[in-house]
Structure formats: structure tokens, C-alpha cells
Structure 1
């Protein structure tokens, strides 16, 4: 393993450069990255994560304090780069409200007007927190913000879903490229919402192409949930892996039990890309609501974030009632490989097993 080109040596060099002991990053999953989960992954020597999309600035600061109270390890903080304001179609929103009222509490016209957290204020909060890494998804940070990150010594990990996006991220100053395959659970990180489904590329086609196209280190994410996936990603040129669904059955993730059990039972074809929850393409377990929402007679989803606001009441009630039939149960195609064991122990064991593959 002394050979610098050996996959494990490349991963060890990445770890050395980023203060890690194992090249496993927790995916920054909005609403599914409680401090306990990030602290556990960080304590294993990996990188914790905060998906800050829905968090107000004070919540961002509080999350970081909680993690730092539980771990001396590093973490990334992540935000979506906002899309342009969507076009509103009031007739469609009314039709969606009627449809969604069949699946949960009544949805009034005002539900679509819910305001999202202020992106600029969230960005300022992340700088205040001062994590070692800030990551992006759905686009690129403005040049001035990138400069301010770099001035503070914060590294920028940019999520991409195509080779063209990877080249754009490198040119914009990203320190690390996170290549997200279409197998990933949750939202697709495509820069343009309209291409998130049509330009879906599997990780093991995307990864070597991105590695060949950029000079920066590449982190692989999407459908990686066991040691075989980690080893395969390293062989294809990744310097580390990022895992989301693979950590969702850990006790620290604290998912509704129906979601956790659904993940553990899902075959790859038991998930699908959908805009029916948020208006942005994301991969979820297939459930009764999704089947109805994709039926020919169902109303077309509204753009993000209108659809997210419209489905909020249904999603909240489903989570409260542990009801998988209408739950927003994000899951990647390798969901069944996830394990219900403590996150720190799981992270250690995944890297141990991955290195043994190379012996």
C-alpha cells in the first residue's frame, strides 16, 4: 500500500489532508442529520454533516454547538444553491390541494405561500460556525462567498451530477468534487431542476468520467452502503465516499420506525425518482401516495418549493403517525444494505472491511 496510486493510499492521503482517520463522509441530509449521528461518524474518524436547507440561522449555530459538545471531529455544513423563483400556477395549486387533502389534513391555498429560510442569512450563519468544510448542492456558491470561505480557511466541497457540472465546479474554485450518482436517496443534486431526471447518470459511469475530467480529489456518493461499494468507488478513482441511506437505520438517525424498516426491506427497484414530495426530483421508497401521485389522472407536481409547502401537512402527519404509506421516505437504491447498528461502530467496520478487500 506504499504505492501512492493504490486506492487505499489515495484515500489515506485524502484523510491526512482533511483531518480524518477514515475516508467516510456522512451525507448532509436535510432533516435527517441529527447532531448525535454526525458526532458518531466524526468520532469514528469520518466526517459528520449538516443538511441545513430548512434551518434558520440560530438552528444552524445550535446544531454545530451540539455536535462540538459530543465530538472533536470535523463536519461539513451544506446548503442548496437556490433555483430562480418558480412560476406560480394557482389553478394547479388548487388542484394539488384537493388531491393532497385526500392524503392528510386539508390543504388550503395559503399553504403554497410558505416562506423558505433566507439563504444569505443561512450562509452567514455557516461562516459564523466556521466548520472545516462547507458543501453545496444544486449549483455553485457566488464567487464572493467562495472567497470569504477560503479567507477563513474553509474548504468547499461541491456536489455534481454530470461531468459538465464537475468542470464548472472546479473552475469556480471547489476544493473537492462530490460526484453524486442517480442511485442516491433524497434529492438529485443537479444544477438545473429541469435536467435532474433526464440527465440521470449512475455512479459507476459518472465517477471515472469525473475523475478523468478534473484535477481536484473526487468523493463518490450514491448507492454506497457497504464495504464492496466503498472499495469499488476507490478503484474507480474516488478519494473518499459519502454515505447517506447506509446510516439511516442507525439508532442515532432516529427515523420513524416505518421508514427505517422500509429501508431495510427495499430492493433497488423498490425506490423511484419523484417530484411528488417537494417539486424537485428525489429518490424515495415507493409507497401508496407515490403510486397515486404518479397515476395518469393525478395533478402534475408544482415546482420546488411550492410542492414542498403543499405536501408539508401530509408529510408531518405521516411522520407523527409512523405511516409509511404517505411518508416522505427518502432512500437510495442500495437501501437494503443499510444496517441497524450504532453509527460509530458501523463506520469503523465499513472501512475495516473495505481495506480487507485490497489485501
Structure 2
């Protein structure tokens, strides 16, 4: 491998790839230019749409950046449970005056994976990361041959061991505090919604594998970078912290909701997508979360029209307001300025630790 994690960014700061239009080239480029590692999110985009963003990213910055891919998902959903949920959402469809989406429109749930891999192998980018699973050894070897640094997102020590065996260059270790989807490699319909906290998970992964670790999960301040580095991570990934930036493609109501006192907490829910994801608790989550089936991406497609209609109506109570547990610490700053502030806070925290250690 010609690249190492330390070659990719001046500061140990990674901008999380947030699908759904949040991680625009403008955001990722601003982060990379400021010394972090910016990421584009290919999830929910066509292969051509992804490539157009890559080209725009190259126009905006000459710094390293990454592209995140969703791994293909098996079609294991209970069709009957999806149909029951469809009937439950009928009132939402009537309220927003929009039809429910076609749960079977997901084309097998592969998100155009093969086409996206082919494009990124033909015209390589510095970094490619993977969510919802681990690629085959052959795919990771092909990226290595192309000079691309690969990162697999994991939520357990076993997933970390599997990724190391497959040939990943690094791991994004995601704690349960993280906003958005939990990146488990298998979604167990029988398992309770939950997960392992970030600091514990870093320790477990470090004891299991030798790969570099990018820590993700509720991080919002530079002092937390110092904490995860001390726990064994090599870098820290921020999602919610960058969501509030002006370069982010998030809906204005989503940005405002992060610090709006009406939204006091987050929870893991299947309500919007059928897969566990952490978001702000709103009316939709309260009313439908307990009944949503384990059916991704079927539920995602079923609710897509509802989410668009709620956003168009400026109704935050019907939107998927993904956010990590630290959301109330969000700062509305330009992305480059936020990277610089996080770096300064990290140095200040390190200096404070050194002073206390010397006393």
C-alpha cells in the first residue's frame, strides 16, 4: 500500500460520509482543504451520480478525499411485516398527501455496488470506505493494486477481525453513540436495538487486530479526539458536528433541530429505513418506531415519499433527523473553520493532560 492514514490528512479529523445529500462535494472539499479528510457518500446515488460528485470534488480540491460505498444487502425481510407497516403508514400518506413508496423498488438492495466499484477501480480515488458489511478479499486486493486506501466500518471485534482477514487497510470503529445508521455487518431482527460504547469498542478492537482505527460515535469536541487517541485510535470521525455547517446539504430544519430544545434526546429506530439508526426523537419516531420491521432497504423506499413531503412542508416532526448523542454541542461554523477549531481544541486538551501529568 502506497498510502498510510497519516498521509491522508494533516489532522486526525475525518468527516463522516453522510448519505442522503448531506456530504456534498462542497463540504468534503472544505474539510480536506483545512487539513482533515473529507468524504463523499455514494449511498442512495447512482453510479453516474457518484462519479459526477467525484469529478466535482477533484475540481474543488487537490487534497486527498474518500468515497463511501454501501455493501449489498440480502433480501431477508418478512414481506408480511412490511405490508403491515405499509398499512400503519397509510395515515401519514393521507396527511402529507403523497403515496407511499414501492418497497420492492430496491433492485435487490445492492445500491449499484458493482458499478460503483468498477468506476472507482478504473479511475481511483485516494480512499474508499465501506458500510453495512465487508468486501471480499478480491475486491480489497483490487483496490490495493489501484493504490486506494480502504476502510471498513465495524461495530464489533469480530467484524474487525473479519475485515483484517479480508485485507482492509484500516477500520472505522463505530460506537452506539453515532448518528445515522448503525453499520453492523448483519442486522439481526431478533436483537434489541443497542450496541457497544465507543471507548469500550476501541479497546476491544485494539486487542483483536493490528489495523489503524478511525473512531466514530458522538464526537463533537477536540477534547474527545484526545480521549479516543489515548484509547488507541489513530483518528476521529465527525458526522453530526459537520451536519450543521453551511456547506452541508442537510435540510435547514435538520440543522436547527440539533440544538432546538424541542428535541431533547436521540434513539435508535427502524422507523424510517428498517435498519437501526440513531436520530432525534420526533413524532414519527414515537408513533412508528416500535412497530417498524427489520426490513432494509424496503422500509427506506416505503417511507421515501413521506420524508420528502415532510421536508417540503417544513415539518421536522415527520423527517429523519439523524444525529449522534452529542448533537446539542453542534456549532454552526464553516467546515474549514470547524476543522481548525477541533485541531486547536485537541492541542489544548493534550497540553492540559501534560500539565496534570507533570504535577
TM over 0.5: yes
Q: Offset at 1:279?
A: 0.5
Alpha-carbon distance between aligned partners in 2 of 1:197 and 1:73, rounded to the nearest angstrom: 41
Q: Offset at 1:107?
A: 3.1
State the partner residue of 2:102: 111
Q: Offset at 1:111?
A: 1.7
Instruction: Say which SS state the counterpart of residue 102 (structure 2) adopts.
Output: helix
Unpaired segments of 5 or more residues in structure 2?
352-359
Q: Offset at 1:301?
A: 3.0
Equivalence map 1:190-209=2 (5 Å)? 190-194=184-188, 197-198=192-193, 200-209=195-204
1:48 paired to 2:23: no
TM-score (norm 1): 0.90
Task: Answer whether contact 1:285 1:331 (CA < 8 A) is retained.
Answer: yes
2:57 pairs with one of 63, 67, 70: 67
1:159 pairs with one of 140, 153, 158: 153
1:98 paired to 2:93: no
Q: Offset at 1:268?
A: 9.6
| Cα distance per residue 1:129-155 (max 9 Å; x no partner) | 411111111111122211210110111
RMSD: 2.1
Matched residues, number: 342
The verdict on how the C-alpha distance between 1:262 and 1:294 changes in structure 2, with shifts beyond 3 A counting, is same
State the partner residue of 1:171: 165
Equivalence map 1:187-336=2 (5 Å)? 187-194=181-188, 197-198=192-193, 200-265=195-260, 270-294=265-289, 299-301=291-293, 303-336=295-328
Alpha-carbon distance between aligned partners in 2 of 1:245 and 1:100, rounded to the nearest angstrom: 27
Q: Offset at 1:100?
A: 3.6
Instruction: Say which SS state the counterpart of residue 325 (structure 2) adopts.
Output: coil
Alpha-carbon distance between aligned partners in 2 of 1:260 and 1:243, rounded to the nearest angstrom: 15
State the partner residue of 1:27: 16
Q: Offset at 1:14?
A: 6.3
State the partner residue of 2:340: 348
The verdict on how the C-alpha distance between 1:199 and 1:332 changes in structure 2, with shifts beyond 3 A counting, is closer
Unpaired segments of 5 or more residues in structure 1?
1-12
